[in-house]
C-alpha cells in the first residue's frame, strides 16, 4: 500500500510501521533485526581512520567509500535528524570472513550482496509507507558487489551509478561504529581477518541499517 506523505505520524502508527519494517528485514533473509533509536548510532573518527590508515583496498575506488563519502560532520548532522532505525544482520559460516583464503577469494561478497539487497528493499518499503527520507546502509564497498573488476562509473564518467537505486554505502564508510553498536544491542560479533581462524570464531556477522524517521 502506498500512503500519502503526512506532516506528522502518530507514535502508535510509527511503532507499528517500524515493527513491520523489522519483520520485513527478517523475511528478506536477515538473521535478526531490531528497532533502535538513532542516538544509539555513534559516528566515530576512528572508524573513518580505519578506512584510510592503513588504506583499505576500496579507499577512493567508488563514490560511496571515503574520501568520497560525506565528511563526519555531515554524517553526524544527518543521523541526528532521525529518531529511529531498523538495524539488521546476516549470519554466515565463519570461513566466509575469517582466514587468508576468505580474504584472497573474496568469499564475503555474496553475503554483502544479501545485506545490500535488504537495505534497498527495507528503505523502499519505508519510502512507500510515507517515510520519504528513509536512508539505508549496507556493509563493505558497493564496488565489490556491483562493479567488481571495473571502474566506478560515477568517478570515471560522471554519468551516474551503474547500480542506480540498488547500491548502498556502508555504515562504516559513513563513520558509524558498527562493532560497538552490535555489542550494545546484544549481538555476538567477532574480529575477522587474515589472522583469525574459522575454527576459533562461531560465525561471521554483517550488519546494515535503515534510518526511518
pLDDT in tens, 49-99: 999 999 999 999 999 999 999 999 999 999 999 999 999 999 988 888 887
State residue 106's pLDDT score. Answer: 67
State residue 150's pLDDT score. Answer: 94
Rounded Cα distance between 198 and 36, Å, is 30
Number of domains in the chain: 1
State residue 163's pLDDT score. Answer: 93
136 touches 167 (CB < 8 A): no
Q: Residue 204, SS3? A: strand
Pairing label, strands 32-37, 204-211: unpaired
In a domain, 56, yes or no: yes
In a domain, 3, yes or no: no
In the chain, % helix, strand, coil (3-state, to 5) comes to 40, 15, 45
In a domain, 195, yes or no: yes
187 touches 89 (CB < 8 A): yes
Give residue 204's domain range. Answer: 11-211
State residue 76's pLDDT score. Answer: 98
Residue 138: C-alpha distances to residues 75, 100, 103, 107 (Å): 15, 23, 19, 17
In a domain, 59, yes or no: yes
In a domain, 6, yes or no: no
State residue 105's pLDDT score. Answer: 58
State residue 101's pLDDT score. Answer: 74
In a domain, 5, yes or no: no
State residue 103's pLDDT score. Answer: 63
Element (H, E) at 32: strand 32-37
In a domain, 72, yes or no: yes
- The set of cell numbers assigned to 116 is 545490500
In a domain, 170, yes or no: yes
Closest by Cα among 91, 88, 87, 102 to 203: 91
Q: Which stretches of the chain score pLDDT less than 50?
A: none
116 touches 145 (CB < 8 A): yes
CA angle 58, 190, 146 (to 5 degrees): 30
Residue in this structure with the C-alpha cell 558509524, named with its chain if needed? 176
State residue 112's pLDDT score. Answer: 87
Amino acid at each position: 500500500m502506498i500512503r500519502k506523505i503526512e506532516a506528522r505520524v502518530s507514535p502508535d502508527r510509527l511503532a507499528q510501521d517500524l515493527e513491520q519494517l523489522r519483520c520485513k528485514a527478517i523475511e528478506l533473509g536477515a538473521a535478526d533485526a531490531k528497532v533502535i533509536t538513532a542516538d544509539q548510532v555513534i559516528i566515530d573518527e576512528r572508524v573513518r581512520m580505519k578506512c584510510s590508515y592503513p588504506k583499505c583496498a576500496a579507499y577512493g575506488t567508488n563514490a560511496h567509500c571515503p574520501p568520497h563519502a560525506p565528511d563526519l560532520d555531515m554524517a553526524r548532522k544527518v543521523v541526528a535528524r532521525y529518531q529511529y532505525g531498523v538495524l539488521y544482520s546476516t549470519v554466515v559460516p565463519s570461513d566466509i570472513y575469517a582466514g587468508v583464503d576468505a580474504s584472497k577469494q573474496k568469499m564475503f561478497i555474496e553475503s554483502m550482496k544479501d545485506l545490500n539487497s535488504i537495505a534497498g528493499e527495507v528503505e523502499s518499503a519505508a519510502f512507500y509507507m510515507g517515510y520519504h527520507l528513509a536512508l539505508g546502509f549496507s556493509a563493505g564497498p558497493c564496488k565489490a558487489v556491483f562493479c567488481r573488476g571495473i571502474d566506478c562509473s560515477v568517478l570515471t564518467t560522471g554519468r551516474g551509478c551503474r547500480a542506480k537505486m540498488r547500491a548502498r554505502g556502508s555504515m562504516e564508510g559513513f563513520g558509524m561504529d558498527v562493532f560497538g553498536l552490535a555489542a550494545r544491542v546484544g549481538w555476538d560479533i567477532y574480529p575477522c581477518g587474515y589472522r583469525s581462524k574459522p575454527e576459533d570464531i562461531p560465525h561471521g556477522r554483517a550488519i546494515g541499517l535503515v534510518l526511518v524517521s
